[in-house]
Structure 1
Amino acid sequence: MKADPALSALRLFAGARLDPQANAVPLAIAFSGGADSTALLLAALHLWGPQRLHALHVHHGLQTDADRFAEHARGLCASWGVPCSVLRVQIPARPGESLEDAARGARYTALTNAAGKLGSRWLLLGHQADDQAESLLLALLRGAGPKGLAGMPAVASRAGLWLGRPLLSCAADSLRHMLDVQGVPYVRDAMNLDPAFRRSRIRHELLPVLARLEPSWRATLTRAASLCAQASAGIEELAQQDLARCEGPEGLRLAALRALPEARLSEVLRLWLRQSGLRSNHGQIVNLCRQVRATARGAVALQVRLGQGLVERRGPWLALSAGTYVSGHCGLHDAHEGSGCL
């Protein structure tokens, strides 16, 4: 059987990214049983054989077909001689967080934990070009900046593990067609058709319109995401330098923050909060910048609550409340990482 176009894309990815000498190290593959992850697993099987692979299937119980999907994953992997672990997760309910975001977070925590226990250095994901386009459009509709509009990176790191997306150049319909021609079974997730999810509506309502307006929409949106990733990397590099100059033993020096131009001030604060494990939105950053500026005019009180964290003024310092600050990066360490696309 041939696994083109997935095999071609995986060959290119592996040649550029993976250590050819590390044949003894297992490669973990996120395997939902859908067309994309099936195409990726089949390509990996052709490239490396079953002995180097381990499929990881997440069972989060969000739909009645979850048990059937898990059995399909086990059965197909057994027929190919690939070990398969089914990971059962609970979706936490957090105020203000969407079900999609909560499920994504739980899924990737389970996948990275399982891959780490296997001794894997890489977790391969089946995201393809249509997924990248949808992520870019979702970020655009949220009003995201360059970091969010960078979409999903081909490579990122999380919890000491490399995450790879070899199929970002592959169209979804080409992967499905390849599997259909070869008679390879895959599951179809009804949630992908549910109009309650914005991503589903983009896929089925907006992308067909884009295809009529611009036949090469995949390549165009991929190029836009790549340009935003480059811009984001430059912005973050400058923010890292500014942050290093502002940091001190008790937080950030207010005088150093006030000396920064507005755009650089907002990026430093956003980076500082992200490295501290706190999420922030545009309005919160604008408010925090305003209060930092106000300290130059004698304002003493400065207090902004972000989730479980509290940002406040302590004399000449901008500090986080006790027990909140965690030095260094939290989890993701990739300059091109999009917001919540993993």
Structure 2
Amino acid sequence: MNPPAVVAVAYSGGRDSTALLHATLQAARHSGVQVAALHVHHGLSPLADDWLAHCQDQCDRWAREGLPVNLLHEHLHLKPGRGQSIEALARTARYAALRRLAQQAGAGIVLLAHHRRDQAETLLLQALRGAGVAGLSGMPAVAERDGLTWARPWLCQPREAVEAYVRRHRLPHVDDDSNDDPRFARNRLRLQVWPALLDAFPQAEATLADAAAWSQEAAACLADLAALDLAALQAGARLQVASWRALEPHRARNALRAWLRGKGGEAPTAAELTRLCDELPGQSPATWTLKTGVLRRYRGWLTFEPLCDQGQAASAPPREAVVRITRAGRYALPGWGGQLVVRRVTEDGVALGRLGQLRLAPRVGGEQFQAGAGRPARALKKQYQAAGVPAWAREGPLLYDGEQLVFAPGLGVDERVRAAKGEAQVSLEWVPQAAAASEPARPARKS
């Protein structure tokens, strides 16, 4: 397998990242691989400009020595809100910036300089926050995320080995003054707790890192178990409450946690999970507002709708008035908050030739929909009720060919526009953006 043409290294200018960048450059010197040093200027420290200048000078010196390095940087303008964690804000923004820089450099992998002490500290912090097995797993050595590989090649190396490497090669580096600020949890642990812990337990770094590795294995086993259980519980985007209740309590909690994490990208808190396990077995329609979205129970099924980002909602584009469908595929309608999925079918579809210019409109009342052959056209509201389509599944545009209703979200194609046997035809499905985010879409043509 050929090595990647470009390898990226997250480079703050500190001791650890300087050592990793230098080691990567030595390995790449005669391999034809280019190394992109990625520097994120957070805009939080008055010394941040000096750190960027140091990184640029260092990379320029290495380049003059023939090492294959190029520095890319991005300046953030972070403004923490009242009560917002600066640590969390900076971490989220930093990884987003690193992703953008890596993509700009054409790199498929980003190397991070975390070592064994960092892993041990992460496990302790997660334990003190009441984390479960996934949190106690610490940082993975390799992870695939956002189309990139994120790797920590020194995660099993002790901090002393990194320090020795820096001394041996006489590598200049910067010291972040914020590392001495006890307002930050990791700094308090590092400055006040860690020295006493090592004094009492000299092998703490290695044993805690081993515990994180065991937790990673346990988390992987739980994920596999959840996947097996969810295969029997899910139907599309929904989860069946009765089948979920039939599981043993610990498996039910594990499956629900995994299902919600897959829907919202973040696991529920322990308090949220306990509450849900107590309240979900009911029968009547119900709604729960969680940190990452809204969970709903309707006719024995659960659905989850992630919360929309308020900034995105404020800048939502205007609703499209027309969509032109010429072939199967996905047609993005960002103004309506989703995609129209068009699939080739051999029966029960609508003629493709009828979809050259469809009008999009919201429900206003009085619309008529025919659900099947031989059935009368009835009010759309009554058709939704008869089909058991919950209110939140009715959202999306109605599609008209002239004045004839062609398609209604949650119900499908109107019987009056069904294609004749043997005619080229397609099915239509409305998919909200939250459910369609991971799949590519064909932009809709606007009038």
- CA distance in 1 between partners of 2:259 and 2:77 (Å): 30
Identity among equivalent positions (%) equals 37
Cα distance in 1 for partners of 2:110, 2:17 equals: 12
TM-score w.r.t. structure 1 length?
Answer: 0.84
After superposition, give the CA deviation of every residue in 1:121-151 in whole Å (9 maximum; x if it has no partner).
2100000111111100000001111111011
Q: Whose Rg is larger?
A: 2
| Alpha-carbon distance in structure 1 between the residues aligned to 2:62 and 2:198 | 36
Equivalent residue for 1:76, pick from 44, 58, 65: 58
> Is this contact kept in 1: 2:142–2:152, CA < 8 A?
yes
Residue 150 (1) aligns with residue 131 (2): no
Q: Tell me, what secondary structure is at the counterpart of 1:153?
A: coil
Report the structure, 1 or 2, having the larger helix content: 1
1: CA distance between counterparts of 2:202 and 2:196? Answer: 10
1:316 is aligned to 300
Q: 2:92: which partner in 1? A: 105
Structure 1: segments with no counterpart, 5+ residues? 1-18, 331-342
Inter-partner Cα distance in structure 2 for 1:144 and 1:96: 21
After TM superposition, give the deviation of residue 92 of structure 1 in Å. Answer: 6.5
> Is 2:133–2:218's contact at 8 Å kept on the other side of the alignment?
yes
Partner of 2:270: 282
Which of the two has greater strand per residue?
Answer: 2
Shift of residue 205, structure 1, vs aligned partner? 1.4
**Partner SS, residue 280 of structure 2:** helix
Matching residue within 198, 211, 214 for 2:198: 211
Measure how far apart 1:109 and its partner are.
1.0
Match of 1:35 among 7, 12, 15: 15
What is the DSSP-based 3-state SS (H/G/I as helix, E as strand, rest coil) of the residue aligned with 2:247? coil
Q: Report the CA distance shift for 1:216/1:167 in structure 2 as closer, same or farther (over 3 A).
A: same
Shift of 1:283: 0.6
**CA distance in 2 between partners of 1:301 and 1:90 (Å):** 44
User: Cα distance, 1:111 vs. partner?
Assistant: 0.8
Matches of 2:249 and 2:84, distance apart in 1: 29
Q: Give the structure 2 partner of residue 137 of structure 1.
A: 124
CA contact (8 A) 1:147 1:232 kept: yes
Using the TM superposition, give the Cα deviation of residue 154 of structure 1 relative to its aligned residue in structure 2, in angstroms.
0.5
TM-score by length of 2: 0.65
Q: Which moved more, 1:315-324 or 1:217-226?
A: 315-324
Matches within 5 A, 1:207-286: 207-279=194-266, 280-286=268-274
Cα RMSD, aligned residues only: 2.2
Whether contact under 8 Å (2:73, 2:101) holds in the other structure is: no
Which gives a bigger RCO, structure 1 or 2 (Cα 8 Å, sep 6+)?
1
Which residue identity is paired with 1:284? E
Matching residue within 161, 170, 173 for 2:148 = 161
CA distance in 1, matches of 2:59, 2:78: 26
Q: Which residue of 2 aligns with 1:5?
A: none
- The AA in structure 1 aligned to 2:270 is H
* Deviation beyond 6 Å, 4+ runs, structure 1: 327-330
Between the aligned partners of 2:54 and 2:16, the Cα distance in structure 1 is: 15
Aligned amino acid, residue 252 of structure 1: L
In structure 1, the partner of 2:28 is: 48
Equivalent pair of 2:10/2:37 in contact (CA under 8 Å): yes
> Could you tell me how far apart the structure 1 residues matched to 2:437 and 2:189 are?
36
Mark the runs of 5 or more structure 2 residues left unpaired by the alignment.
64-68, 306-391, 393-431, 440-447
Q: Give distance in 2, aligned partners of 1:308 and 1:152.
A: 22
